[in-house]
Amino acid sequence: MHFIVTGGAGFIGSHVTEQLLSEDHYVTVVDNLTTGNLNNLPEHPRLKFLEKDILACQPEDFSKPIDGIAHLAATPSVTESWLQPLAAHHNNLSATIAVIELCQALEIPRLVFTSSAAVYGNPVQLPITETHPTSPISPYGLQKLVSEQYASLFAQQFGFSMVALRLFNVFGPRQAPNSQYSGVISIFVNAMRQGLPITIYGDGTQTRDFVYVKNVANAFAKALITSLTSGSCIVANVGTGKSISLVELVDILKTCFPQWQSELKFAPARPGDIKDSQADISNASTHLDFTSQWSVESGLQYLIESLDPVKG
């Protein structure tokens, strides 16, 4: 089959691309390389790369037939969405509408949209099912929620099928640790391997459902190929179904970095930080035959093995 992956040179998109290639599919990656990097992609005879913003793409840019599109191109940052709301709106919501137009023009039967646990806002019950109230507390969460609604509306009207995957806390190789708002695992792993201190914001009892990126790539592949009737829409959480606290995370990381002797600092909780998060993944299991194959521990092991040795 032939799939388009938008944002396919990014952290999660490049793993989705690899997964699809490993399943013998043809992949066209579209990426404007703002945050993506060509080094994230393998050279592969079944992979085509188009350096372009998805908002500038025309149907003529692609060769038909296309069996599905996985839309991962976005500004995946809550902070950015507060600082530059219009730019984030453009990249997160308008870009989704551009993808919907491509689905119509190119008669693409399946759209898999990258949504986020951010659509739920502050959880009122755990684990979080897809019927949990949606009440975003950031422009980013709102843009993801409205994108889902656009995709669902157009899928029903024009007869393509849509799967929205609400990702929880994804981690793994190629996740950039370069800002204080990067994923906490990328920040902690980066610091610990260099023997640097780490900081927990809050008391460390906050919990998250950390999901290894290969689990997520699997969910995308299944969402692209699973049999669905035209016009149908599925919304599914993608996590492990288990959560751990930051203190527990640090304990696991200490076993991965036994030589780490630096300081564990505590600082005030970040404003807007949610306390607990844990996915109920029964919808993904029922509709997409999804299972979380890699635990946090095994994912961390793969992540650490994938890193180049620290220089110096």
Could you list the active site residues?
140
Q: Applying CB under 6 A, which part among 5-13, 35-43, 199-207, 253-261 lies near ligand UD2?
A: 199-207
Using the rule CB under 6 A, is 278 a contact of ligand UD2?
no
**C-alpha to C-alpha distance for 261 and 249, rounded to whole angstroms:** 16
**Site for ligand UD2 contains 164 (CB under 6 A):** no
Per-position b or e across 225-245, b if 16+ CB within 10 A of its CB: bbebeeeebbbbbbbbbbbbb
Position among 116, 240, 278, 292 found at the interface with ligand UD2 (CB under 6 A): 116
Strands (E) across 45-159 are located at 47-51, 68-71, 110-116
Q: How far is the CB of 248 from ligand UD2 (least distance, A)?
A: 12
Q: What's 311's DSSP letter?
A: P
Per the document, the length of the chain is: 312
What does DSSP assign to residue 229?
-
Distant-in-sequence, close-in-space partners of 170: CB < 8 Å, separation ≥ 6: 11, 12, 183, 211, 212, 213, 216
Task: Specify the stretch interacting with ligand UD2 by CB under 6 A; choose among 92-100, 115-123, 283-291, 293-301.
Answer: 115-123
Q: Measure the CA–CA gap between 257 and 259, rounded to whole angstroms.
A: 5
Binding residue (CB under 6 A) for ligand UD2 from 17, 206, 237, 292: 206
Question: In whole angstroms, what is the distance from residue 38 CA to residue 51 CA?
Answer: 10
Which of 117, 221, 224, 296 binds ligand UD2 (CB under 6 A)? It is: 117
Give yes or no for residue 14 binding ligand UD2 (CB under 6 A).
no
Considering the complex, state which of residue 116 and residue 161 has its C-beta at the smaller distance from ligand UD2: 116
201 binding ligand UD2? (CB under 6 A): yes
User: Is 200 among the residues that bind ligand UD2 (CB under 6 A)?
Assistant: yes
Cis peptide before 127 (omega within 30 of 0): yes
Does 78 contact ligand UD2 by CB under 6 A?
Answer: yes
Distance (Å, whole) CA 87 – CA 75: 9
In this complex, which beta carbon is closest to ligand UD2, that of residue 117 or of residue 281?
A: 117
Could you tell me how many residues of this chain bind ligand UD2 (CB under 6 A)? 19
Binding stretches for ligand UD2 (CB under 6 A): 78, 116-118, 169-170, 181, 183-184, 187, 199-201, 206, 208, 246, 270, 273-274
